[in-house]
Amino acid sequence: MLQSDLTAEVAGSRKLWTADEARALFDQPFMDLLFQAQTVHRRTFDPNRVQMSRLLSIKTGGCPEDCSYCSQSSRYDSGLSASKLIEVERVIAEARRARDAGATRYCMGAAWRSPKERDMAQVIAMVEGVKALGMETCMTLGMLDGDQAQRLKRAGLDYYNHNIDTSEAHYASVITTRTFADRLETLQNVRDSGIKVCSGGILGLGEGNQDRVEMLVTLANLPEPPESVPINMLIPVEGTPLADAAPVDPIDFVRTIATARIMMPESHVRLSAGRTGMSDEMQAMCFFAGANSIFVGDTLLTKDNPGEDLDMRLFARLGLKPMAAHEHHPEDRPAAPGEAQREALRRADPAIPVLR
Ligand code: SF4
């Protein structure tokens, strides 16, 4: 079934996925799945470049929501102490450091159900200040209404992160304080404002592979697919309901990345939280499967992250290079594959049309 889909992409028509089609993609032999994902990846992106984002928690803990994986929910005793919204100057100083260390996008996250009016001016000042450093800006503040999204857009916000987390079917067993439909409404408000959408999910929430596939179908079939698709691997946190969740099979994780890459060929697929639990080899496999974005830095909101030194060592071993800011925009896409690559693709499957 994949051949016709590849042809549809090349023809420029957008494919909408059924769950059965996506599941067939996910379930095919691993080597076939990886080859197809890498083939699709090379049509849109330079396979040796990875976008690097830096994430800062601008307001930690004390969140009223009940996301059962989250150390920041006030409903669970995770030992995390809550803090207030931090000062704008501190955010800008941290962003400058991140930029100087090579990050091109700065993501600011607050543990809120949604931003309150009293916080909007401070949040807007953060966006303006980080934008003035020449970085791409991203925020994750919970649910947004249309007016809030438009104000953030006017301040210069490039991306808004709001994950759907899992499939609609599994969603209610993970979160009860807001619905799957609420999530989609925020994504639509963000899209309508002109801010780019960052939305993905978490593996390891007790879901099965069918849920993983259905989550990807929801994302890929949005009126416009998200520009960024973070795929997280749960880091279980003591005190949360998912503290003893079963670990994710690494092969299923790579399959999810590859399936996301094929279904959303123009999106950045981010290897997000959970990299500390992955070997270098598994991360390399994820990059081969089409992941082309990571978070850099020692921490992710409240979780550990490998840190720049480890990442740069891994990049050097794999011959990967950081992507420049805005490099991924469609107009900046790398040229079509070179002749050697075209020939390799033709030899691999003469029926695959190759962009010129
Ligand atoms: S994931 Fe976000 S919304 Fe859910 S509890 Fe944690 S901080 Fe709150």
In a domain, 62, yes or no: yes
Cα–Cα distance measured from residue 238 to residue 175, given in angstroms and rounded to the nearest whole number: 18
Confidence at residue 12, expressed as pLDDT on a 0 to 100 scale? 52
Catalytic residue among 99, 138, 151, 178: 138
Catalytic residue among 42, 70, 178, 183: 70
297 torsion bin: left (phi>0), alpha (psi -120 to 50), beta (else)? left
How far apart are the CA of 109 and the centre of ligand 1, in A? 10
Residues paired with 57 in a beta bridge: 109
In a domain, 312, yes or no: yes
Instruction: Give me the CATH number covering residue 206.
Output: 3.20.20.70
Confidence bin at 296 (pLDDT 50/70/90): confident
65 in ligand 1 pocket by Cβ < 6 Å? yes
**Quick check: 284 and 318 in contact, CB under 8 A?**
yes
- How many domains in the chain? 1
In a domain, 138, yes or no: yes
Cα–Cα distance measured from residue 122 to residue 86, given in angstroms and rounded to the nearest whole number: 9
**Domain that residue 67 falls in:** 49-244+294-320
In a domain, 268, yes or no: no
The pTM (predicted TM-score) of the whole model is: 0.85
Cα–Cα distance measured from residue 159 to residue 136, given in angstroms and rounded to the nearest whole number: 8
The mean per-residue pLDDT over the stretch 298-325 comes to 74
In a domain, 222, yes or no: yes
How far apart are the CA of 216 and the centre of ligand 1, in A? 21
- Give residues with Cβ within 8 angstroms of 195, minimum separation 6: 149, 152, 153, 157, 158, 159, 160
The more confidently predicted of residues 303 and 99 is: 99
What pLDDT, in 10s, does the model give residues 211-251?
A: 999 999 999 999 999 999 999 999 999 999 999 999 999 99
Confidence bin at 9 (pLDDT 50/70/90): very low
